[in-house]
Amino acid sequence: MNFKQRIAAHKLGVLLTRDLIQTAATGTEEGYKSGILHQMASEGRNMHPLQLSELYTAALSELGITEPIVKAALLRLLRYYIHKMVYQQMDVAKGFALVDSMMNLTEYFYPDTGLEGAYEQYTAIAAYSSPWFEPDDAGGLSQQDAIDHAKQALYDALQHWLNTTAVLFSSEESLSVAHAVAV
């Protein structure tokens, strides 16, 4: 994850206070100029979690970075994980399980993000993976063929989502309004 993605992950609670040290290191590696960020990255292991949290807030302020609203943070992380799935750096079923976990951390539902079709395929994979699977459940397909078909449909839905949201994420400024357009 890059620095902005890590900020989004902290906003959602995907990354915790103990992860702030790596977030600071990532920001420093990416060239963000902040004495506070550098201090967190180099001395953070010796700091109390409350001190880390306070320094994180101060570092964002020093950098002029506003913490994203929940939906913008969610969309940024969805895009990160979906990109990994579409470009086959992560299995679609396992990756979508992470997406589902993130969704459960927020008040948003799949239609709020445009991922309802993908969620439908994800639940189909779970149903077809059940020990109670019957070929009639999948139009006569074998269990493995049904799973493979649902995984391909999930991949296609994710690829479509990634392509249709690409314009929203073409610049940093557009991310702040992406949440209003994505629904």
For the stretch 137-165, pLDDT in tens is 888 999 999 999 999 999 999 999 999 88
* Residue range of the domain that includes 23: 3-63
Instruction: Indicate if 35 and 117 belong to the same structural domain.
Output: no
Instruction: Indicate if 108 and 176 belong to the same structural domain.
Output: yes
| Nearest C-alpha neighbor of 10 from the set 52, 62, 63 | 52
Instruction: Indicate if 144 and 121 belong to the same structural domain.
Output: yes
Show the tokens assigned to 89: 């750096």
Q: What DSSP assignment string belongs to 141-172?
A: --HHHHHHHHHHHHHHHHHHHHHHHGGGGSSH
At 126 the pLDDT is 94
Instruction: Indicate if 176 and 114 belong to the same structural domain.
Output: yes
Instruction: Indicate if 79 and 155 belong to the same structural domain.
Output: yes
Instruction: Indicate if 158 and 92 belong to the same structural domain.
Output: yes
CA angle 38, 3, 122 (to 5 degrees): 150
CA distance 65 to 37: 12
Instruction: Indicate if 50 and 76 belong to the same structural domain.
Output: no
For the stretch 25-61, pLDDT in tens is 999 999 999 999 999 999 999 999 999 999 999 999 9
Instruction: Indicate if 145 and 108 belong to the same structural domain.
Output: yes
| 27 and 3 Cβ atoms separated by less than 8 Å | yes
At 170 the pLDDT is 56
Which of 63, 82, 108 marks a domain boundary? 63
